[in-house]
Structure 1
Amino acid sequence: MSLKPLGDKVVIKVKDEEVKTVGGIVLPGSAQEKPQQGTVIAVGSGEIVDGKKVPLDVKVDDQVIYSKYSGSEIKIDGEEYLIIRQADILAIVE
């Protein structure tokens, strides 16, 4: 299955980080804070500005940092994805 976001939407594969305490205990996902970094896997066709379509600034495979509680979480084949607006992306990690 593939996802094709619409307009100014971006699909991000959420970065899965295993968190270990100083004592070596691995924390389950439910005890961790939400990650705010991921990889762009699909981008929409662009944003409409003043009646014209403007392409998005991010592209597939970009590593990005996004707002903490933005977008809609979805799970496909056990993988966690996030669909967000480009405006919710704070930075591209280079």
Structure 2
Amino acid sequence: MNIKPLADRVVVKMIEAEETTKSGIVLPGSAKEKPQIAEVKAVGPGTDEVKMHVKVGDKVLISKYAGTEVKIDDVEYTILKQSDILAIVE
């Protein structure tokens, strides 16, 4: 199944956070923070007022509680507005 976002929406897949600290301590599930870096999987066409600045494959930094989480074919995606993207990570 493919997702085609409408207007200025973007579909992203969260990049998993590391499970150990730099010093090698393994973090339990309750101590992990929600990851904020995601990979863009699909981009809407934009609108007359909003030009799309991201493209498929970009790694982006998103707002912590942005978007709507959906599960399709056992894969979790987040659908959010382009304005919820804070930066492109290079």
TM-score range, shorter chain: 0.7 to 0.9
2:70 match: 74
Q: Is the 8 A contact 1:20 1:27 kept in 2?
A: no
In structure 1, what is the Cα distance between the partners aligned to 2:76 and 2:32? 15
The structure richer in strand per residue is 1
SS of match in other structure, 2:56: coil
Q: What does residue range 4-83 of structure 1 map to in structure 2 within 5 Å?
A: 4-21=4-21, 22=23, 24-28=25-29, 31-49=31-49, 54-83=50-79
Q: Please list every run of 5 or more consecutive structure 1 residues that lacks an aligned counterpart in the other structure.
A: none
Q: Is the 8 A contact 1:18 1:27 kept in 2?
A: no
What count of residue pairs does the alignment treat as equivalent? Answer: 89
How far does the alpha carbon of each residue in 1:34-78 deviate from its partner, in whole angstroms, 9 at most, with x for none? 1111100100010232xxxx4300000000001111100111222
Q: Is the 8 A contact 1:66 1:90 kept in 2?
A: yes
Percent identity for Structure 1 against Structure 2: 53
2:3 match: 3
How far does the alpha carbon of each residue in 1:1-57 deviate from its partner, in whole angstroms, 9 at most, with x for none? 1100000000001111232255643422x54211111100100010232xxxx4300
In structure 2, what is the Cα distance between the partners aligned to 1:60 and 1:23? 33
Residue 81 (structure 2) pairs with residue 93 (structure 1): no
Compute the TM-score of the two structures, normalised by the length of structure 1: 0.82
Q: Please list every run of 5 or more consecutive structure 2 residues that lacks an aligned counterpart in the other structure.
A: none
